């Protein structure tokens, strides 16, 4: 399908991170972003121990999406195949460290989906890639090579590149397992900190009743009830429910903060 000069795509992307959070960003014609862990050099920042400071670049040129390795340590994998620079299509999945990037199709019109759909001959993973894993070892193609031998050469390169990519993925997974466990442990500690703060908010809200309605508090306290009986007393039900709502709202806002939760900021993983 040919794209006319008057038609400009607007594409939304999603990056699913191993910590459970997602990153979203948008690109239009002529724009690009750098993805990685560096807050100084990247427009899209990942919380992924397997990602490099500057991992890859995503650009939008002539209504085509291109992804390019920015010299990362662990590389980028397009549908399981390691590449250096490649065009991205609608159903492609790009692995960045332990994170996965894809196009948010729900935000696209049918016409836009048609523009971004791979239309080459054969399956996407059978000849649809430009193998660029080892440019230095490439020889310039001879103009006299026939179509049949060229196709066979591409298929052979694809098989070799796939084997190499899988071997590197296994080695990278084993090497990075300790880092991944450490990252998950820190994230769990951050969650415990946020839960503790939420509990403090709940308790503070509930016991504020002693200042706002002291007569009710004194009446119940005179009965010499246990802490549980005091909390569940019918006259304290309004305070109990209100404190729960306040704590729930605090937890939700804190954990969904785009700049990271309080616990994450304390541990420096926001």
- Residue by residue, DSSP assigns 174-241 as HHHHHHHHHHHHHHHHHHHHHHHHHHHHHHHHHHTHHHH-HHHHHHHHTT---HHHHHT-GGGHHHHH
pLDDT tens digits for range 140-156: 444 444 445 555 666 67
The contacts found for 150-155 with CB under 8 angstroms, 24 or more apart, are: 151/127, 154/127, 155/126, 155/127
DSSP summary character for residue 116 = H
Residue 15 pLDDT greater than 60, yes or no: yes
Res 134 pLDDT > 80: no
- pTM equals 0.47
pLDDT digits (tens, 9 = 90+) for 225-249: 787 887 788 888 888 898 999 999 9
Sequence ranges of the domains in the chain: 10-136, 177-267
Q: What is the pLDDT of residues 36-54, one digit of tens each?
A: 999 999 999 999 999 999 9
78 token code pair: 């397009």
Q: For the chain, what's the residue count?
A: 270
Contact 100, 93 (CB under 8 A): yes
For the segment 186-230, what is each residue's pLDDT rounded down to a tens digit?
889 999 999 999 999 998 888 887 788 888 777 777 877 787 887
CATH for 10-136, options being 3.10.20.90, 2.60.200.20, 2.30.29.30, 3.40.50.2300: 2.60.200.20
Share of the chain above pLDDT 90, in %: 42
């Amino acid at each position: 399908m040919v794209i006319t000069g008057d038609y400009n795509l607007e594409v939304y992307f999603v990056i699913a991170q191993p910590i459970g959070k997602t990153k979203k960003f948008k690109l239009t014609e002529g724009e690009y972003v750098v993805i990685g862990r560096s807050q100084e050099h990247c427009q899209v920042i990942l919380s992924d121990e397997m990602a490099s400071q500057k991992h890859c670049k995503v650009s939008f040129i002539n209504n085509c999406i291109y992804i390019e390795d920015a010299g990362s340590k662990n590389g980028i994998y397009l549908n399981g195949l390691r590449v250096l620079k490649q065009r991205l299509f609608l159903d492609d999945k790009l692995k960045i460290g332990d994170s996965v990037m894809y196009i948010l199709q729900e935000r696209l019109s049918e016409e836009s989906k048609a523009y971004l759909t791979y239309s080459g001959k054969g399956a996407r993973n059978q000849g649809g890639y430009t193998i660029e894993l080892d440019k230095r070892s490439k020889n310039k193609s001879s103009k006299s090579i026939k179509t049949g031998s060229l196709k066979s050469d591409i298929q052979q390169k694809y098989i070799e590149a796939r084997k190499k990519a899988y071997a590197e993925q296994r080695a990278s997974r084993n090497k990075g397992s300790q880092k991944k466990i450490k990252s998950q442990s820190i994230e769990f500690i951050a969650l415990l900190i946020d839960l503790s703060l939420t509990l403090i908010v709940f308790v503070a809200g509930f016991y504020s009743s002693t200042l706002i309605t002291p007569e009710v508090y004194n009446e119940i306290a005179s009965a010499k009830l246990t802490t549980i009986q005091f909390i569940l007393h019918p006259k304290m039900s309004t305070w109990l429910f209100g404190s729960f709502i306040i704590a729930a709202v605090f937890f939700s806002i804190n954990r969904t903060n785009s700049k990271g939760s309080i616990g994450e900021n304390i541990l420096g993983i926001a």
